Amino acid sequence: MRAALTRRAAQSSPASPRCVQCLQRRRHSTYNHFITQNERSPEPGAIRLAVKDNIATFNLPTSCASSILAEHPSPYEATIVQQLREHVNAHVVGKTNMDEFGMGSHSLNSAHGPVRNPAGQDLSTGGSSGGSAVAVQVDDADIALGTDTGGSVRLPAAWIGCVGYKPSYGMLSRYGVVPYANSLDTVGLLARATTPIRASIFDSSIYQLTDPKDPTCLSLKTRQRCIKVTPVTLPDLSDVTIGLPLEYNIAELDPSIRSAWSQTAELLAANGATVVPVSLPTTPEALCAYYVLAPAEASSNLAKYDGVRYGVRSTTSDAAGDTLYSETRGVGFGDEVKRRILLGTYTLSSDAIDNYFLQAQRVRRLVQRDFDRVFRLASPLHEPVQFDLSDMPDTTDLQDKTGPAQVDFLLCPTAPTCPPRVEDVKTRGSVASYVNDVFTVPASLAGLPAVSVPVRSQDQGTAKHGVPASMQIIGQYWDDRRMLALAELME
Active site residues: 52, 128, 152
Nearer to ligand GLN, 186 or 230 (CB): 186
472 binds ligand GLN (CB under 6 A): no
Q: Could you say whether residue 104 binds ligand GLN (CB under 6 A)?
A: yes
Q: For residue 176, how far is the Cα from the chain centroid?
A: 17
Q: Which is nearer to ligand GLN, 83 or 152 (CB)?
A: 152
Site mask for ligand GLN (CB under 6 A), range 422-461, x = bound: ---------------x------------------------
Helix segments in 109-192, DSSP class H: 130-137, 154-160
Give least dist CB 90 to ligand GLN, A.
22
User: To which H or E segment does residue 395 belong?
Assistant: helix 395-401
Q: Which is nearer to ligand GLN, 63 or 147 (CB)?
A: 147
* Separation of alpha carbons 276 and 267, rounded Å: 14
What's the first-to-final CA gap in the chain, in angstroms? 7
The answer to the question of residue 180 lying near ligand GLN (CB under 6 A) is: yes
Please pick, from the candidates 114, 151, 334, 413, the single residue that binds ligand GLN as defined by CB under 6 A.
151
Q: Which stretch binds ligand GLN (CB under 6 A): 57-65, 87-95, 145-153, 214-222?
A: 145-153
CB 112 within 8 A of CB 161: no
Task: Compute CA distances 421 → 30, 87, 100, 210, 440, whole Å.
Answer: 17, 40, 20, 42, 20
| Closest CB to ligand GLN among residues 145, 268 | 145
186 in helix, strand or coil?
strand
Q: What are phi and psi of 122, to 5 degrees?
A: -90, 0
Q: Count residues contacting ligand GLN (CB under 6 A)?
A: 14
d(CA 288, CA 425): 20
CB of 252 to ligand GLN, least distance (A): 17
Asked if 186 is part of the footprint of ligand GLN (rule: CB under 6 A), the reply reads no
297 scored as a contact of ligand GLN (CB under 6 A): no
Q: Which is nearer to ligand GLN, 139 or 437 (CB)?
A: 437
Residues with Cβ < 8 Å from 299, sequence gap 6 or more? 340, 341, 342, 343, 344, 345, 348
Q: Between 143 and 177, name the residue whose CB sits nearer to ligand GLN.
A: 177
CA 291, 294, 300, 303 torsion-angle sign: negative
- Please report how close the Cβ of residue 63 comes to ligand GLN at its closest, in angstroms: 16
CB of 104 to ligand GLN, least distance (A): 5
Give dist(CA 487, CA 198) in Å, integer. Answer: 10
Stretch of 143-151, 192-200, 422-430, 463-471 contacting ligand GLN, by CB under 6 A: 143-151
149 lies in the binding site for ligand GLN (CB under 6 A): yes
* Nearest position to ligand GLN, beta carbon: 152
Instruction: Please tell me the distance from the alpha carbon of residue 12 to that of residue 143, in angstroms, as a whole number.
Output: 13
Please choose, from the candidates 242, 344, 363, the residue with its C-alpha nearest in 3D space to the C-alpha of residue 298. Answer: 344
333 binds ligand GLN (CB under 6 A): no
The footprint of ligand GLN (CB under 6 A) covers 102-105, 128, 147-152, 180, 294, 437
